[in-house]
């Protein structure tokens, strides 16, 4: 598989809504969920800084609440937030159209949940001919759902990168990294990583 060119990508944030995991969850779930959302927000900020189009989806916002503020605060103005009625974002005509209107051959996914909406979306877009990449440390499901989702994605041939790997794929060379880090020191490393 060739390197992932930043100019080829659209970022889709799948249902990054804190209401999916209310405070009643276990401490482990809260920590892992928070870490995934932090990385998703960082990926969104990275995409915005590199002018990668971003499409956000929300499932049942009346129950799950809106997209996390850290994510909506990081997107470029005009990035759509679209209602998702079918688990696979690709199967929602307005979402699929929002992705395809950019005429880019790759879709990068972050958000919730690894084993359902992220998996369904990735499998659907991959089957429809788009290069599909899941940022595996910026997606989440509680319990065994996360591991099961990643296993399914691998078995379906879906490409996976960490947030750190995506950063280096998109920037590609040392001069670009140094220039980007100077301009955006807060984005020099994803949350939970140090360089």
CATH of 7-187, one of 3.40.50.850, 3.20.20.70, 3.40.1190.20, 3.90.1570.10: 3.40.50.850
In this structure, the chain runs to a length of 195
Share of residues in the chain with pLDDT > 70 (%): 96
pLDDT digits (tens, 9 = 90+) for 55-91: 999 999 999 999 999 999 999 888 999 999 999 999 9
Q: CB-based burial of residue 15 (10 Å sphere; 0-12 exposed, 13-18 middle, 19+ buried)?
A: buried
Residue 195, pLDDT > 50, answer no
Distance CA 184, CA 32 (A): 26
Q: What is the pLDDT of residues 134-192, one digit of tens each?
A: 999 999 998 899 999 999 999 999 999 999 999 999 999 999 999 999 999 999 888 87
| Residue burial 143-171, b: 16+ Cβ < 10 Å; e: rest | eebbeebbebbeeeebbbbebbbbbebbb
pLDDT at 76: 87
Domain boundaries, the chain: 7-187
- What are the angstrom distances between the C-alpha of 20 and each of 25, 83, 90, 119, 129? 10, 15, 20, 16, 30
pLDDT for 21 equals: 75
């Amino acid at each position: 598989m060739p390197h992932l060119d930043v100019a080829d990508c659209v970022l889709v944030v799948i249902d990054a809504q804190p209401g999916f995991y209310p405070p009643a969850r276990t401490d482990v779930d809260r920590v892992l969920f928070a870490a995934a959302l932090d990385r998703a927000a960082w990926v969104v900020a990275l995409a915005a800084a590199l002018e990668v189009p971003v499409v956000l989806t929300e499932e049942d916002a009346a129950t799950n609440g809106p997209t996390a503020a850290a994510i909506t605060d990081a997107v470029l103005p005009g990035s759509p937030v679209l209602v998702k009625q079918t688990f696979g974002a690709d199967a929602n005509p307005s979402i699929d159209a929002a992705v395809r209107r950019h005429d880019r051959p790759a879709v990068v996914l972050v958000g919730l949940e690894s084993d359902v909406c992220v998996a369904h979306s990735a499998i659907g877009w991959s089957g429809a001919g788009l290069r599909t990449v899941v940022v595996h440390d910026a997606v989440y499901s509680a319990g065994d759902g996360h591991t099961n989702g990643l296993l399914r994605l691998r078995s379906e041939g879906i490409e996976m990168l960490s947030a750190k790997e995506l950063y280096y794929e998109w920037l590609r060379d040392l001069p670009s990294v140094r220039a980007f880090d100077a301009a955006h020191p807060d984005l020099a490393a994803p949350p939970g990583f140090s360089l």
